[in-house]
């Protein structure tokens, strides 16, 4: 891959450097080291047990399925799965009742991978390691939801001990847009492999952005780590803000202090949270209650073989089948929703693939990933369209009925709606009548004012009660120029 020289549009030759740390909660039934349920949204402090709370004498037992999901993540990100160990990361915080988090330190499970952005830029993955989540504090009183200025805080330990994978990218990202693409592609991969539901709004996927700036060709500058970025949109905003903040400091002769900053979505700024702690501060040491984790070659290979097709490959497949660009919105959306197999099934039973793609994108937003409507019904609908028996607008209306009913014969529904195909000569006459009735609009159109044609098209649509095919109308109008 060539060097990533994408330009973030920063002033005076400044270049942006970003590395992302993404935490994802794994879709296990139980926690990483205990049998308590891993479930979001339950009554606070109901999914807990002595291990979760770190009560004296409680011992962790590693969840095998969590390891398997973590390996899926690593393999899908082209990492090497290696023998690994668990460490205690020691710090005090109210939502961490053990006063340490079990994490992986110098021997993580997955190392040295990469993720290719849809545009082709390759972002290195340093590591993807297993660790446990902390509990969750909620701060009340004050109006920021932050501990500062709050009256009291409540703690919910349901999340404590939920398995996480932390995916650490290399500092290969050069624009806010690439950062957004990275997170959305990563999200799509995690969902596709069943590792996580990866919902940023529910916190099952969380992203910290490390941001620095430098003059192109210089060594990397000092980075700040930005926390609390809760959506892909805020990620872009936070990076843009932070880059400009650092440039302002550097251009006025200051230096960047390495620190952790908090993104505030409401004022659109980052604020100092704490100066950066070092690994030394955490007094990492090997977790004495767990043995090393060394998945066998056979297990790793079995997990690799069982990986499903990844989103990028599925987009390619869908794009080439439907004759669309792999970067088109429709292809992205349909693959993201997991409806691409359905579109292909419509093709297999004789439907028009490109029309099927458009319909699935538009009509199946509310449907579960595998639509309930039999593929053969949608195939029949697209055939009526390509045969000129239905306009695109009519087909949409027929499909809405089919979707609502969970299936149906498009020809019957079209007939019931009075959608008979219009004879071209009939449409031609309507166009000529509309031109004759609006000589001013026609003259403007002939004089090059494209917009003026709207009045003619509108009149034809009205005269045909919406039955005329827009494409046919436009073609006839052009033939009259
Ligand atoms: P820490 O524990 O300090 O957060 P990690 O190793 O977990 O350190 O993560 C460091 C992250 O910072 C990685 O994503 C890495 O790509 C990124 N990074 C390292 N140096 C820079 C830099 N100069 N500018 C921007 N990002 C950087
Ligand atoms: Mg980190």
Distance 11 CA to ligand 2 centre (A): 29
* Closest listed ligand to the CA of 220: 1
CATH topology of domain 424-479: Arc Repressor Mutant, subunit A (1.10.10)
Higher pLDDT, residue 279 or 83: 83
CA distance 111 to 126: 6
Distance from Cα 167 to the centre of ligand 2, integer Å: 9
Residue nearest to atom 19 of ligand 1 (CA): 171
Ligand 1, atom 13, lies closest to the CA of: 19
Work out the pLDDT band at 33, boundaries 50, 70, 90: very high
Mean pLDDT for 370-388 is: 91
Spans of all domains in the chain: 14-305, 311-416, 424-479
Rounded to whole angstroms, the Cα distance separating 347 from 109 reads 42
**Residue 277 clears pLDDT 90, i.e. is over it:** no
**Gap from CA of 227 to ligand 2 centroid (Å):** 10
Task: Please tell me the predicted confidence (pLDDT) of residue 2.
Answer: 60
**Ligand 2 centroid – CA 20 distance (Å):** 9
Q: Whole-prediction pTM value?
A: 0.86
Cβ < 6 A, ligand 1 pocket: 17-21, 168-171, 210-212, 220-221, 223, 225
Q: Are 78 and 143 in contact (CB under 8 A)?
A: no
Residue 312 three-state SS: helix
Could you tell me the pLDDT band of residue 472, with boundaries at 50, 70 and 90? confident
User: Which residue owns the Cα nearest ligand 1 atom 15?
Assistant: 19
Is the pLDDT at 363 greater than 70, yes or no?
A: yes
Among the atoms of ligand 1, which is closest to the Cα of residue 21? 14
Q: Which residues contact 382 (CB under 8 A, 6 or more apart)?
A: 346, 351, 352, 355, 356, 359, 395
Average pLDDT, the chain: 93
Tokens coding 333: 């959306």
Distances (CA, A) of 315 to 330, 341, 356: 10, 11, 15
pLDDT at res. 77: 98
pLDDT tens-digit map of 135-186: 999 999 877 677 778 899 999 999 999 999 999 999 999 999 999 999 999 9
pLDDT at 348 over 60: yes
Q: Judge whether residue 1 has pLDDT over 70.
A: no
Closest atom, ligand 1, to C-alpha of 278: 3
Q: Where is average pLDDT lowest: 11-25, 82-96, 141-155, 253-267?
A: 141-155
Residue of 21, 103, 281 best suited for mutating to test ligand 1, as the one with most atoms within 8 Å of CB: 21
Q: Report the 10 Å Cβ neighbour count for 251.
A: 11
Q: How many angstroms is it from 67 CA to the middle of ligand 1?
A: 25
Q: What is the C-alpha end-to-end distance of the chain, expressed in Å?
A: 51
Ligand 2: distance of its center to the CA of 351 in Å? 50
Question: If you take atom 22 of ligand 1, which residue's CA is the nearest one?
Answer: 223
Q: What is the pLDDT of residues 424-461, one digit of tens each?
A: 788 889 999 999 999 999 999 999 898 888 999 999 88
Angle among Cα 297, 299, 304 to the nearest 5 degrees reads 95
Of the two residues 408 and 7, the one the predictor is more confident about is 408
Atom of ligand 1 at shortest distance to CA of 279? Answer: 2
Among the atoms of ligand 1, which is closest to the Cα of residue 168? 14
Least distant ligand from the CA of 221: 1
Cα of 225 to ligand 1 centre, how many Å?
Answer: 8
User: Which residue's CA is the nearest one to ligand 1's atom 6?
Assistant: 168
- Residue 347 clears pLDDT 70, i.e. is over it: yes
Residue nearest to atom 11 of ligand 1 (CA): 19
What share of the chain in percent tops pLDDT 90? 77
CA of 290 to the centre of ligand 1 (A): 28
Measuring from atom 17 of ligand 1, which residue has the nearest CA? 19
Instruction: State the number of CA atoms in the 13 A half-sphere of 26 facing the CB.
Output: 31
Query: Which of the listed residues 8, 171, 175 should we mutate to test ligand 1's pocket, taking the one with most ligand atoms within 8 A of CB?
Result: 171
How many angstroms separate the CA atoms of 456 and 443, rounded? Answer: 11
| Ligand 1 mean position, distance from CA 153 (Å) | 31
- Within 8 A by CB and 6+ apart from 177, the residues are 6, 236
Which ligand is the nearest neighbour of the Cα of 209?
A: 1
């Amino acid at each position: 891959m060539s060097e990533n020289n994408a330009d973030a549009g920063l002033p005076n030759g400044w270049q942006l450097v970003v590395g992302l740390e993404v935490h994802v909660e794994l879709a296990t039934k139980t926690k990483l080291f205990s049998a308590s349920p891993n479930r979001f949204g339950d009554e606070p402090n109901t999914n807990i047990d002595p291990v979760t709370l770190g009560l004296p004498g409680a011992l962790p037992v590693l969840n095998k399925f969590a390891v398997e999901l973590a390996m899926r993540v690593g393999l899908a990100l082209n990492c090497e799965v290696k023998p690994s160990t668990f460490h205690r990361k020691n710090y005090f915080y109210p939502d961490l009742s053990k006063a340490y988090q079990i994490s992986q330190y110098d021997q993580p499970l997955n190392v040295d991978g990469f993720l290719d952005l849809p545009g082709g830029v390759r972002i290195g993955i340093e590591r993807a390691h297993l660790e446990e989540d902390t509990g969750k504090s909620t701060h009340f009183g004050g109006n920021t939801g932050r501990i500062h200025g709050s009256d009291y805080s409540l703690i919910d330990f349901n999340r404590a001990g939920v398995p996480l994978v932390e995916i650490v990218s290399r500092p290969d990202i050069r624009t806010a847009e690439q950062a957004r693409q990275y997170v959305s592609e990563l999200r799509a991969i995690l969902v596709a492999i069943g590792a996580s539901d990866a919902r940023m709004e529910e916190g099952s996927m969380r992203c910290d952005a490390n941001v620095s700036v430098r003059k192109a060709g210089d060594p990397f500058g000092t980075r700040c780590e930005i926390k609390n970025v809760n959506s892909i949109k805020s990620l872009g905003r936070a990076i843009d803000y932070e880059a400009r903040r650092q440039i302002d400091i550097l251009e006025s002769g200051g230096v960047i202090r390495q620190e952790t900053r908090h993104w505030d979505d409401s004022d659109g700024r980052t604020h100092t949270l704490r100066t950066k702690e070092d690994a030394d501060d955490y007094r990492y040491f090997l977790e004495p209650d767990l043995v090393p984790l060394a998945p066998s070659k056979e297990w790793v290979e079995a997990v690799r073989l069982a990986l499903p097709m990844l989103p990028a490959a599925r987009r390619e497949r869908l794009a080439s089948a439907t004759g669309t660009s792999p970067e088109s919105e429709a292809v992205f959306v349909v693959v993201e929703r997991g409806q691409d197999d359905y579109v292909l099934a419509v093709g297999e039973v004789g439907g028009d693939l490109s029309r099927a793609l458009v319909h699935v994108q538009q009509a199946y937003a509310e449907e579960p990933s595998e639509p309930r409507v039999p593929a053969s019904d949608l195939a029949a609908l697209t055939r009526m369209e390509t045969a000129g028996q239905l306009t695109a607008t009519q087909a949409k209306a027929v499909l809405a009925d089919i979707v609502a009913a969970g299936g149906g014969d498009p020809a019957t529904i079209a007939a019931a709606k009075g959608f008979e195909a219009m004879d071209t000569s009939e449409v031609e006459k309507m166009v000529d009548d509309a031109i004759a009735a609006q000589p001013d609009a026609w003259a403007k159109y002939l004089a090059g004012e494209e917009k003026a044609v709207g009045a003619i098209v509108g009149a034809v649509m009205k005269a045909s009660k919406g039955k005329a095919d827009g494409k046919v109308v436009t073609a006839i109008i052009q033939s009259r120029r």
